Amino acid sequence: MTSSFRSSAEALSERIKVSFEFFPPKNGDMESQLWESISRLAPFQPDFVSVTYGAGGSTKQPTLNTITRICDETELAAAAHLTCVGSDKATVDAVAREFQAVGVNHFVALRGDPPEGVGAAYEPHPEGYANGAELVAGLRAIADFEISVSAYPERHPESPDFATDIDMLKRKVDAGATRAITQFFFDNDIYERYVERVRRAGIYIPIVPGILPIHNFGQVARFSKLCGASVPDWLARRFDGLEKDPETRALVAAAIAAEQVNDLVERGIDDFHFYTMNRAQLVYAICHMLGLRGDDAGSVGAAA
């Protein structure tokens, strides 16, 4: 490696920012897996780590417990997901204040999926926030939080067209959103066209690509259909015949995600949000290939 190439690689790694999404564990084994993943990824010094929140507050306590432990035992900046499905405004505001009390200053504000699941008809609570834009405004009324919101490169499955979808994003920004994180996608041209549409609409907050390493292709393909994300034919062919070969499947998944991220870097993107699924191995490999390095001893205190 020449010194000029090495300098270029080091400059790139210093420019790259990452963040990681986790979900609250349902049992002891899942909790161990979660904290092993946090311990493994913490040395990359993510911009923040977020913890998801179930529809209608169904994971409120596990989410709060996880967020509290992150704040108490690590130096990581924790962001709490918050939804408004099935709750009145007072309840949502009270939850936001509970998160704030344990050290949260960053929310990922989402309308949320109906309790019946993705694809079911959404009905706002009669005394609640009707959508993500109203939720952002409600959070802004509590404190000067950092607020991330969702964005959909292939549009939200309930939006009739891109104009309606981008108008909702603009309403979120006008209400005080500071960052948008996209739904996962596998075609970078789709992401780039979406960002161009967003900029033409006068929206200039960061549009951070959401990256989903594929641990289980079948599950990802099924979920993609529900949420409106396309799965290219070439991607399906990469996993063809690997159903009973987990080691090769993991290698293929890491290569695909690394190709996607490296291509985005070449297009000028330097901020990435990883949907970890509480698994560190693939995300760790991708970050390493991006040139990120950290103290392998970890930095999560008692959780390590």
Helix (H) or strand (E) holding 107: strand 106-110
Q: What angle do CA 164, 155, 83 make, to 5 degrees?
A: 85
Q: Is the pLDDT of residue 229 over 90?
A: yes
Q: Give the model's confidence band at 304: pLDDT under 50 very low, under 70 low, under 90 confident, else very high.
A: very low
Q: Which two tokens stand for residue 76?
A: 């990581």
Whether the CB-CB separation of 154 and 230 falls below 8 Å is answered with yes
- The whole-angstrom separation of Cα 304 and Cα 300 is 5
- Adjacent-strand bridge partners of 250: none
High-pLDDT (> 70) share of the chain, %: 89
- The whole-angstrom separation of Cα 172 and Cα 191 is 19
**pTM (2 decimals)?**
0.91
Catalytic-role residue among 21, 31, 158, 196: 21
Closest CA to 289 of 260, 249, 247, 250: 260
CA 62 to the chain's CA centroid: 18
Least confident of 68-77, 89-98, 116-125, 170-179: 116-125
Q: Tell me: the pLDDT tens digits for 26-73?
A: 999 999 999 999 999 999 999 999 999 987 677 889 999 999 999 999
- The whole-angstrom separation of Cα 227 and Cα 166 is 17
* Residues sharing a CB contact under 8 Å with residue 237, sequence separation 6 or more, in sequence order: none
High-pLDDT (> 90) share of the chain, %: 79
Q: Give the model's confidence band at 127: pLDDT under 50 very low, under 70 low, under 90 confident, else very high.
A: very high
C-alpha distances (whole Å) from 275 to each of 133, 245, 257, 287 are: 23, 23, 12, 13
Structural domains present in the chain: 14-303 (3.20.20.220)
How much is the pLDDT for 115?
Answer: 67
Mean pLDDT within 281-287: 94
Least confident of 9-13, 121-125, 233-237, 245-249: 9-13
Helix (H) or strand (E) holding 109: strand 106-110
Mean pLDDT within 277-282: 95
Q: Which long-range contacts (CB under 8 A, 24 or more apart) does 69-74 make?
A: 69/303, 70/38, 71/102, 71/103, 71/104, 72/102, 73/300, 73/301, 73/302, 73/303, 74/38, 74/42, 74/299, 74/300, 74/301, 74/303
Q: Give the model's confidence band at 185: pLDDT under 50 very low, under 70 low, under 90 confident, else very high.
A: very high
125 class by beta-carbon count within 10 Å (0-12 exposed, 13-18 middle, 19+ buried): middle
Q: Tell me: the pLDDT tens digits for 130-184?
A: 999 999 999 999 999 999 999 999 999 889 999 999 999 999 999 999 999 999 9
By DSSP bridging, strand 17-22 and strand 146-151 are: unpaired
91 class by beta-carbon count within 10 Å (0-12 exposed, 13-18 middle, 19+ buried): middle
Active site residue 31: no
